[in-house]
Amino acid sequence: MEEMKEIIRAYVVKEYVEDDTEVGFDTPLISGGIVDSFSMVSLKRFLENRYGISIPDDKATPEAFDSVNKICALVQEYLH
């Protein structure tokens, strides 16, 4: 779980952060303006490819993607 969090955090920073904003596990990503809703699609696809899962579109909501912790919980749900 900790490894997954680090992987997702690293992806978010590399993909979306263009200044020195720090991203913690609970940092609001969508509501905090770090990830715009347009760009969520690449995050969803990254998770699906990396973990071999399929997240239904109606589950990939801005709320479910709003922090590293929430994203991890979502991925866990579809891993089993």
Partner 1 sequence: MAFSTKTRGIYQDVLKGIQEAGLFKQERFIHSAQAADIEVEFPTGSSLKKVINICANNYLGLSSHPEVVKAARQGLDTHGYGMSSVRFICGTQDIHRKLEKMVSAFLGTEETILFPSCMDANAGVFEAVLTKDDVMISDRLVHASIIDGIRLCSAMHDTYKHSDMEHLESKLQLHNDKRLKMVITDGVFSMDGDTAKLDKMADLCDKYDALLFCDDSHASGFIGKTGRGTHEKYGVMAKMDIITTTFGKGLGGASGGCVSGRRELVEMCRQKARPYLFSNTIAPPVVAGVIKVLEILSATTERRDKLEKNTEFWRKGLTEAGLIIKEGDTPIVPVMLFNAKLSQDVSTDLYNEGIYAIGFFFPVVPQGQARIRTQISAGHEIHHLEKALDAFRKVGKKYNILGKTKQEIIDRYGM
Within 8 A by CB and 6+ apart from 40, the residues are 30, 60, 62, 65
CB atoms within 10 A of CB 8: 23
Per CB under 8 A, 13 contacts partner 1 = no
Per CB under 8 A, 58 contacts partner 1 = no
State the first-to-last Cα distance of the chain, in angstroms, to the nearest integer.
14
CB closer to partner 1 out of 25 and 28: 28
* Subset of 27-56 contacting partner 1 (CB under 8 A): 36, 38-39, 41-42, 45-46, 49
Binding site for partner 1 (CB under 8 A): 18, 36, 38-39, 41-42, 45-46, 49
